[in-house]
Structure 1
Amino acid sequence: MEFETIEVKKEGTLAWLILNRPDKLNALNLKLLEELYQAVKNFDSDNDVRVIIITGKGKAFCAGADITQFTELTPVNAWKFAKRGREVMDFIESIGKPTIAMINGYALGGGLELALACDIRVASEEAQLGLPEINLGIYPGYGGTQRLTRIVGKGKALEMMMTGDRIPARDAERYGLVNSVYPSADLEKETRKLAEKISEKSPVALSLIKEIVNRGIDSSLLTGLSMESLGWGTIFSTEDKKEGVDAFLKKRKPNFKGI
């Protein structure tokens, strides 16, 4: 399937989704949001794909929503735009396959919210991250108020949103906002290495880990622990569990099938 605003490619079990509006710093408009949704949906249903990597072309990961649209938005259309953006981010977070945001440059506003919807975030040393919507007299509308707070804590999230300041990648790593930071020249290599390592694990176990963590974080501890136990019991019915145990006992590398 051909897309206008993104590029897609597959490397074995890895799928790459590259935002492709470099002249606009990969800013999000409705076209890009819809193509992003469709591309992620396609990869999610592709049994050959184990890990999805999202990044941007040029010097930005994604600089946020395309502000040129804002002057034309009525309140109702603004609500619909925010709702659709949040639905796309929710979908990315909810799929069963691991997702990695490879933050190669600016990740601002909706761009950071896109990264927040991914499971893991890695960044180049030159990357800058922030939610600068306050400088426009608005606030994050694609899930940033909720996801950022859950990742970095209430105080730091409020500071970032209330000041609109950008933070460098090394500080973002210190706050737990990104998992790892690498020199730009090594970013793709290190991201691929991480993705390949994850892709060798059981797809069933990976999917259950995501589901239990994402649902458990908004539940009571007891509810989360109950989900963990139920999922742990369920996974004992899978071929992947049998393969993993057999491989361990025979001191060989497992070959997980996702069944």
Structure 2
Amino acid sequence: MSKTYTFTDPRLSELDGFRVEISADKRRADVILDRAPLNVISMEARDQLRLVFEALDEDADVRIIVLSGTGEHFSSGGNIRGFMEASPEHVSKLAWNVAAPARCSKPVIAANRGYTFGVGFEISLACDFRIVSETCRYALPEQKLGQIPGSGGSARLQKIVGVTRTKDIVMRSKRIPGRTAYDWGIATECVEDGELEATVDALVDELLEFSPLAQRTAKKLLNDTEDALLTTAIEIEGLNYSRLRQSDDFKEGVEAFHEKRKASFTGR
């Protein structure tokens, strides 16, 4: 049973265009864009989304976070007028705010259907998993406004698909169907529209079976070594492996393996 999540930070007393729900039995938090029909993300919402992810990261009762949108579309992007009204200092923080899912130590899943444009695409790229429906259309349309992506979109995308495809997407404001996004490695999985929620639910259940300590370690390791030399990445991997060998979860995992039973991880 899901219920509305209550934040202690007064800046989150009234969320702008989205809501947060918690499923205590699943140890799952849902961040749901809720400004139908296009779920436009305001400048204020970007600030609040950062604070929300930071708060959920600190909550020991939350293991998995799912980012989704109500209705037919995840998000058509940002509030265009808001860009003209925001100060240069405020605009300079956009990429940091949108990168909150990547900084979060816990697994973050984006559930994308319909329009997933601009900042909607950028914040999805900052998530660990992108489950898309066949109706999903990814795009960075900023060229049509005489602009470029400003919240990490082109940079993250280039890491995934390379410079040639990124130029094709960014410089032509090209829309990428969900199936193509999967084929190119942008999406983790592409399913029929009616199966999106069930697929996300199944992934949440799967992730909950693993050690939260090992999950946090794996996410940070992969994020930290993305730009590292191979030798450096291997060295850091080895150090993290050695650290986890001392954990209660590793001991439990080994014992459960030999006893042919399901492991019960505690995150220690």
TM-score, normalization: structure 2? Answer: 0.91
Tell me how far apart the structure 2 counterparts of residues 71 and 87 of structure 1 sit (CA, whole Å): 19
Tell me how far apart the structure 2 counterparts of residues 117 and 234 of structure 1 sit (CA, whole Å): 27
Determine if the alignment matches structure 1 residue 70 to structure 2 residue 83: yes
Aligned residue in 2 for 1:50: 63
Tell me how far apart the structure 1 counterparts of residues 99 and 239 of structure 2 sit (CA, whole Å): 24
Aligned residue in 2 for 1:118: 127
Tell me how far apart the structure 1 counterparts of residues 53 and 73 of structure 2 sit (CA, whole Å): 20
One-letter amino acid of the structure 1 residue matched with residue 103 of structure 2: S
- CA spacing shift, 1:8–1:191, aligned 2, 3 Å: same
Aligned residue in 1 for 2:31: 17
Aligned residue in 1 for 2:223: 214
Instruction: Tell me which of 20, 41, 48 is aligned to 1:8.
Output: 20
- Cα displacement (A) at 1:4: 3.8
Q: Deviations over 1:233-259 (max 9, x none)?
A: 000111111111111111110111111
- CA spacing shift, 1:156–1:79, aligned 2, 3 Å: farther
Q: Which one has the bigger helix percentage? A: 1
Tell me how far apart the structure 2 counterparts of residues 187 and 41 of structure 1 sit (CA, whole Å): 26
- CA spacing shift, 1:4–1:90, aligned 2, 3 Å: closer
Contact 1:14–1:196 under 8 Å retained in 2: no
Instruction: Tell me which of 243, 255, 267 is aligned to 1:258.
Output: 267
Alignment RMSD (CA, Å): 1.3
Tell me how far apart the structure 2 counterparts of residues 94 and 209 of structure 1 sit (CA, whole Å): 13
Contact 2:16–2:42 under 8 Å retained in 1: no
**Structure 1 stretch 173-182 or stretch 85-94: which is displaced more?**
85-94
- Cα displacement (A) at 1:71: 3.6
Structure 2: which 5+ runs fail to align?
1-5, 7-12
- Cα displacement (A) at 1:69: 1.8
Instruction: Tell me which of 246, 253, 265 is aligned to 1:237.
Output: 246
Structure 1: which 5+ runs fail to align?
none
SS in 2 for 1:112: helix
Tell me how far apart the structure 2 counterparts of residues 225 and 60 of structure 1 sit (CA, whole Å): 40
- CA spacing shift, 1:217–1:201, aligned 2, 3 Å: same
SS in 2 for 1:255: coil
Contact 1:124–1:187 under 8 Å retained in 2: yes
Aligned residue in 2 for 1:80: 90
Aligned residue in 1 for 2:10: none
Tell me how far apart the structure 2 counterparts of residues 60 and 84 of structure 1 sit (CA, whole Å): 26
- Cα displacement (A) at 1:90: 2.5
Aligned residue in 1 for 2:188: 179
Contact 2:138–2:178 under 8 Å retained in 1: yes
Contact 2:211–2:265 under 8 Å retained in 1: yes
- Cα displacement (A) at 1:84: 2.0
Q: Deviations over 1:63-107 (max 9, x none)?
A: 11111223434xxx24532x3221122222011100010002211
SS in 2 for 1:60: coil
- CA spacing shift, 1:4–1:131, aligned 2, 3 Å: closer
Contact 1:5–1:31 under 8 Å retained in 2: no
Q: Deviations over 1:116-170 (max 9, x none)?
A: 0000101111110011111111000000121000011111111100100111101
Aligned residue in 2 for 1:99: 108
Aligned residue in 2 for 1:202: 211
1:116-195 equivalent positions in 2, closer than 5 A: 116-195=125-204
**Structure 1 stretch 239-248 or stretch 38-47: which is displaced more?**
38-47
